[in-house]
Structure 1
């Protein structure tokens, strides 16, 4: 019998908690939050609203999301060739970034140019409740997801703007295949992992 500590597909009832975890992680524990939303007064709520909308309107219907403990750790995946997830942000999303909207648009174009041309599953986002960092939840969830990709013979890619996270992904078979400036004071690193399936 499965328990809350076992990875399972994210459900509608998990969305609020998962979006809150993403908001806390990206607002205060990642360089992206400081860069994309310099005003801290409403940063967490804006990120929460974005992830809640993305989960409900895009990733649950068209992508693949997995979770441990009903949103404590969550992954958001983009399958190959899904047109509903081809655009990273809507025009309204870009407008909401105000002074950094131009950098955000250019950064997304850079990320698109760095993606591998071969078919792959894309890890759009992974986050763990900041209060539970160091317990291995994110690693266990990602290992679970990668085992599914390997079983199907699929390659994977992701981007990170946190250099300290590169080793976490390298230990799971990813390699940096490109990088560039995402904006002032922040770089992006594209990582790729061929399928680890065995004949």
Structure 2
């Protein structure tokens, strides 16, 4: 599609968070974290904002399509570290202290997250729901994956649906073999990408 992509700054927070909220409002994982529709509408944006804020504060970055149609939140993770699961209780407290599912998902994804090699972690990527299937997600992350290939960096993510898993497989990600199983909820697929020469 050729949509220009730029690095987002703090001034883009509202645009990015609103887009992520819309992109994931019907996602099975988001609906598991916030099972009540009113709670989803009230608190889901706070979770998306926490991902944005963490990336900006902790040396990560957010890539945004210039027209606001897609956004990707990344963290550069050194070997031995893995981000938001370091303090699942604190993560929960910062978003919704009464929602134990926020702590559960942070803990479970943290346990699955590889720690032995430095990598670029795709925390979350969202595309305007009206524009799904047009290649925006692929275009948005292609630049980061090209840099990973050039610099010999690995990449990691958790796919939240079979549809997204298939997309990531086309981009060179491989399922690590064990799903993250949310209690009485959906599965997530931890996926790893080796740099291509």
TM-score bin (small chain): 0.7 to 0.9
Task: Find the aligned partners of 1:14 and 1:104 in 2 and give their Cα distance.
Answer: 24
Task: Find the aligned partners of 2:123 and 2:113 in 1 and give their Cα distance.
Answer: 12
How do 1:21-170 and structure 2 match up within 5 A? 21-28=19-26, 30-55=27-52, 57-61=53-57, 62-81=59-78, 86-88=83-85, 91=89, 93-95=91-93, 96=96, 98=98, 101=100, 103-116=101-114, 117-170=116-169
- Give yes or no for contact 2:79–2:119 (8 Å, CA) kept in 1: no
Structure 1 residues 171 and 9, CA, compared in 2 at 3 Å: closer, same or farther? same
Give the Å deviation of 1:126.
0.5
Give the Å deviation of 1:93.
4.2
Structure 1 residues 151 and 44, CA, compared in 2 at 3 Å: closer, same or farther? farther
Once structures 1 and 2 are overlaid, which stretch shifts more, 15-24 or 67-76? Answer: 67-76
Task: Find the aligned partners of 2:154 and 2:80 in 1 and give their Cα distance.
Answer: 19
Task: Find the aligned partners of 1:83 and 1:70 in 2 and give their Cα distance.
Answer: 37
- For residue 184 of structure 1, what is the aligned residue in structure 2? 184
Match of 1:98, SS state, is coil
Task: Find the aligned partners of 1:91 and 1:106 in 2 and give their Cα distance.
Answer: 9
Task: Find the aligned partners of 2:113 and 2:90 in 1 and give their Cα distance.
Answer: 24
- Unaligned segments of structure 2, at least 5 residues: none
Match of 1:71, SS state, is coil
Structure 1 residues 10 and 84, CA, compared in 2 at 3 Å: closer, same or farther? farther
- For residue 194 of structure 2, what is the aligned residue in structure 1? 194
Task: Find the aligned partners of 1:92 and 1:118 in 2 and give their Cα distance.
Answer: 25
Q: Cα RMSD (Å) of the superposition? A: 2.5
Structure 1 residues 12 and 105, CA, compared in 2 at 3 Å: closer, same or farther? closer
Give the Å deviation of 1:111.
1.9
**Normalised by the size of structure 1, how large is the TM-score?**
0.83
- Give yes or no for contact 1:36–1:97 (8 Å, CA) kept in 2: no
Alignment coverage as a number of residue pairs: 190
Q: Deviations over 1:45-102 (max 9, x none)?
A: 41222323442x3212321111112532111111123999723466354252635x1x
Match of 1:35, SS state, is helix
Structure 1 residues 91 and 161, CA, compared in 2 at 3 Å: closer, same or farther? same
Match of 2:130, SS state, is helix
Q: Deviations over 1:150-169 (max 9, x none)?
A: 12110001112212211100
**Normalised by the size of structure 2, how large is the TM-score?**
0.84
